[in-house]
């Protein structure tokens, strides 16, 4: 089942737009993440940032608005995900694709405020993960957010083997390598980590889009069985999903959407 909706925070405040992500053909990994860390730790109001997630996010936004654009979710689209956290009150969230920790700070804080316990943020780049760990610490969220270095699949397996996920994930946030969304969701399904009440949130469903993921979470159990017949990665076709697309904005002001999928049970 699927439906489409525009987020209630539909307006984009262009005075808050990030600078262009692209600088000389690069979108990230050209030194801007280390420059951000230095900017944050030499901030004139550093003492006011300590232990204050909102102020830390504002300072990251100011860097991205005035120095170099960053590929994080930003305030507008991030609010859509915070609303999901406030509504569903997950105890455990698994994020794939942490970058410099913006979403981990924003959603880790939302999780904590909703009474949740642990936010796991898996990031492939050790450098970005180190920046994220430092900024999570600055925001005072070390007790809630754990940054894990590795690919999505490596992080899922490691956390599952450790028992850190408690056998079931309440919410996932996919924001990493776009072709890996479906494979990593199917891995979670095979490991039994998805069950009734699990909420899956996937970013960048317009920019750049992810048709295989949308097809999987919107398919009926019979359609999923058929898809899996020829797929290299198998999932659990019996999981019943209700999925909707919510349109919002990148921090640059470009339109994008998140796919919000709830597992409603297990079919025959
Ligand atoms: C769009 S950024 C994430 C932004 C972050 N969620 C935020 O909103 O603040 C995507 C991140 O995914 C990471 N990444 C790419 N492939 C990955 C993979 N297979 N597993 C985990 N992380 C990956 C990249 O290094 C990058 O930091």
d(CA 58, CA 138): 13
Instruction: Kindly report, residue by residue over 33-50, the tens digit of the pLDDT.
Output: 999 999 999 999 999 999
User: What is the per-residue pLDDT for 1?
Assistant: 55
Does residue 76 line the site of ligand 1, with CB under 6 A?
A: no
User: What is the per-residue pLDDT for 12?
Assistant: 87
Does residue 122 line the site of ligand 1, with CB under 6 A?
A: yes
| Parent domain of 146 | 2-266
Atom of ligand 1 nearest to the CA of 152: 20
How many Å lie between the centroid of ligand 1 and the Cα of residue 235? 22
Q: What is the CA radius of gyration of the chain?
A: 18
CATH of the domain at 121: 3.40.50.150
Regions of the chain with pLDDT less than 70:
1-10
Atom of ligand 1 nearest to the CA of 104: 9
Does residue 176 line the site of ligand 1, with CB under 6 A?
A: yes
Beta-sheet pairing, 255-266 with 239-249: antiparallel
Atom of ligand 1 nearest to the CA of 122: 21
Domains of the chain: total: 1
Counting Cβ atoms within 10 Å, is residue 20 exposed (0-12), middle (13-18) or buried (19+)?
exposed
Q: What ipTM was estimated for this complex?
A: 0.99
User: What is the per-residue pLDDT for 151?
Assistant: 98
User: What is the per-residue pLDDT for 5?
Assistant: 61
Does residue 33 line the site of ligand 1, with CB under 6 A?
A: no
Instruction: Kindly report, residue by residue over 34-92, the tens digit of the pLDDT.
Output: 999 999 999 999 999 999 999 999 999 999 999 999 999 999 999 999 999 999 999 99
């Amino acid at each position: 089942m699927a439906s489409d909706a525009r987020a209630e925070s539909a307006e984009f405040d262009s005075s808050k737009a990030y600078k262009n992500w692209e600088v000389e053909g690069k979108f990230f990994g050209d030194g801007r993440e280390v420059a951000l860390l230095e900017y944050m730790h030499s901030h004139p109001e550093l003492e006011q940032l300590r232990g204050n997630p909102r102020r830390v996010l504002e300072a990251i936004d100011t860097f991205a608005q005035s120095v170099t654009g960053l590929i994080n979710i930003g305030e507008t689209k991030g609010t859509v995900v915070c609303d999901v956290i406030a509504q569903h009150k997950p105890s455990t969230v698994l994020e794939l694709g942490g970058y410099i920790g913006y979403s981990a700070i924003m959603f880790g804080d939302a999780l904590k405020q909703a009474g949740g316990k642990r936010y796991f943020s898996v990031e492939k780049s050790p450098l970005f993960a180190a920046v994220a760990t430092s900024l999570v610490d600055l925001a005072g969220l070390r007790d809630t957010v754990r940054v894990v270095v590795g690919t999505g699949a490596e992080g899922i397996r490691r956390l599952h083997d450790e028992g850190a996920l408690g056998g079931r994930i309440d919410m996932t946030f996919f924001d990493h390598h776009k072709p890996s969304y479906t494979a990593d969701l199917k891995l979670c399904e095979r490991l039994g980590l998805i069950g009734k009440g699990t909420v899956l949130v996937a970013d960048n469903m317009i920019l750049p889009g992810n048709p295989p993921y949308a097809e999987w979470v919107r398919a009926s159990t019979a359609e999923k069985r058929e898809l899996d017949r020829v797929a290299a990665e198998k999932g659990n076709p019996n999981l019943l999903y209700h999925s909707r697309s919510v349109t919002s904005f990148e921090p640059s002001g470009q339109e994008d959407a998140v796919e919000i999928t709830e597992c409603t049970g297990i079919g025959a």
